[in-house]
């Protein structure tokens, strides 16, 4: 298997989906949006983007399975599986907030082999191949080398279902707001992870997430020298709905933050 060629071909497919989304910006009307639940929206743009990805990625690896957000194809885990989010940050997209992305990862049942996150409006393409480092628009990136917690920004997100919001969220926020440069809530977990990878954030944490939200970004963080774990510092993050991404020097401080949720 030529992973470099697969990666190059997959980037072109992701670019096609991102171009489609960009051209649809501000064109989505009310009758093209459905609400699956409070704060859980989907547009025809999500669905068509997913169709573009499925068609293109299937041509690269015809026998691979798919885990996707919109489930426009049968969901199956195989020896190789594409884990894709066709539009991470749908709510931002629908409100013309310019932070949303296309996220694609290739998973072999144990590890991510490649990860691509394309930030649509800024045209930033984050990418990593397992063991090959992390890149932004083909230039190498690393997590921040800042040494002091009070010098960094921290990213997070909140559950879409309000019943999942707990006092622990506010305790964690208080810890961060009183000990760092500040907190940011972008609205796309894939981008949050990439912002850790390129040093814009010192760390990111969030739960009630799905594998397609985080698979690609997590590999990019790891290849950029960062650490990925669940809230207790273990490896149960991909399918368990919680993730902590951090530069190594802030791991213990961030585990102190995420311990609020345990």
State which of 141, 164, 188 marks the end of a domain: 141
The pLDDT of residue 215 is above 80? yes
Confidence (pLDDT) at 30: 60
Amino acid 126: pLDDT: 98
Average pLDDT over residues 66-89: 92
Estimate the crossing angle of helix 251-258 against helix 167-177, to 10 degrees.
150
What is the domain-level CATH number for residue 244?
Answer: 3.40.190.80
- Residues 184, 129 share a domain: no
Q: Scanning the structure block, which residue is given the tokens 């649509």?
A: 120
Of 116, 141, 166, which residue constitutes the final position of a domain? Answer: 141
Comparing C-alpha atoms, which of 106, 103, 2 is closest to residue 58? 106
**118 and 194 in one domain?**
no
Those residues with Cβ within 8 angstroms of residue 37's Cβ, 6 or more apart along the chain or in another chain:
160, 161
Report residue 59 as tokens. 């041509």
Dihedral angle computed from the Cα positions of residues 176, 39, 126 and 231, in that order, rounded to the nearest 10 degrees: 40
**Contact by Cβ (8 Å): 143, 226:** yes
Structural domain range at position 164: 149-261
Q: Whole-angstrom Cα distance, residue 186 to residue 98?
A: 10
Q: How many domains does the chain have?
A: 2
Q: What is the mean pLDDT of residues 102-125?
A: 98
What's the CATH code of the domain at 112? Answer: 3.30.540.10
* Mean pLDDT over the full length of the chain: 93
- Model pTM score: 0.94
When computed from its CA atoms, the radius of gyration of the chain, rounded to whole angstroms, is 17
Residue 193 banded pLDDT, cuts 50, 70, 90: very high
In this structure, are residues 214 and 165 in contact, taking their beta carbons and an 8 Å threshold?
Answer: no
Is residue 207 located within the same domain as residue 227? Answer: yes
For residue 39, is pLDDT > 50? Answer: no
E-assigned strand segments in the chain: 33-37, 40-43, 65-68, 81-88, 101-107, 112-119, 124-129, 134-136, 139-141, 153-156, 182-184, 203-207, 227-229, 242-246
The residue assigned the tokens 């970004």 is 217
């Amino acid at each position: 298997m030529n992973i470099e060629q697969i990666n190059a071909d997959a980037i072109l497919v992701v670019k096609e989906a991102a171009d489609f989304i960009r051209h649809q910006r501000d064109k989505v009307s009310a009758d093209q949006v459905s609400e699956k639940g409070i704060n859980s929206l989907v547009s025809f743009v999500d669905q068509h983007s997913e169709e573009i990805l499925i068609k293109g990625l299937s041509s690269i690896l015809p026998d691979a399975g798919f885990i996707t957000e919109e489930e426009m194809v049968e969901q199956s885990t195989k020896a190789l599986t594409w884990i894709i989010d066709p539009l991470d940050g749908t709510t931002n997209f629908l409100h013309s907030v310019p932070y949303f992305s296309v996220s694609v990862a290739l998973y072999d049942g144990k590890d991510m082999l490649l990860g691509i996150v394309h930030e649509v409006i800024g045209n930033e393409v984050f990418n990593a191949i397992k063991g090959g480092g992390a890149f932004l628009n083909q230039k190498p990136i690393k997590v921040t080398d800042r040494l002091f917690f009070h010098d960094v920004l921290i990213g997070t997100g909140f559950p879409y279902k309000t019943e999942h919001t707990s006092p622990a969220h506010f305790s964690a926020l208080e810890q961060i707001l009183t000990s760092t440069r500040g907190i940011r809530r972008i609205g796309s977990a894939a981008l949050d992870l990439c912002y850790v990878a390129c040093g814009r954030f010192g760390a990111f944490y969030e739960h009630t997430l799905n594998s397609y939200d985080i698979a690609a970004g997590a590999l990019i963080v790891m290849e950029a020298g960062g650490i990925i774990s669940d809230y207790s510092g273990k490896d149960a993050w991909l399918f368990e709905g919680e993730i902590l991404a951090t530069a190594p020097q802030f791991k213990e401080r961030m585990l102190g933050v995420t311990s609020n949720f345990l």
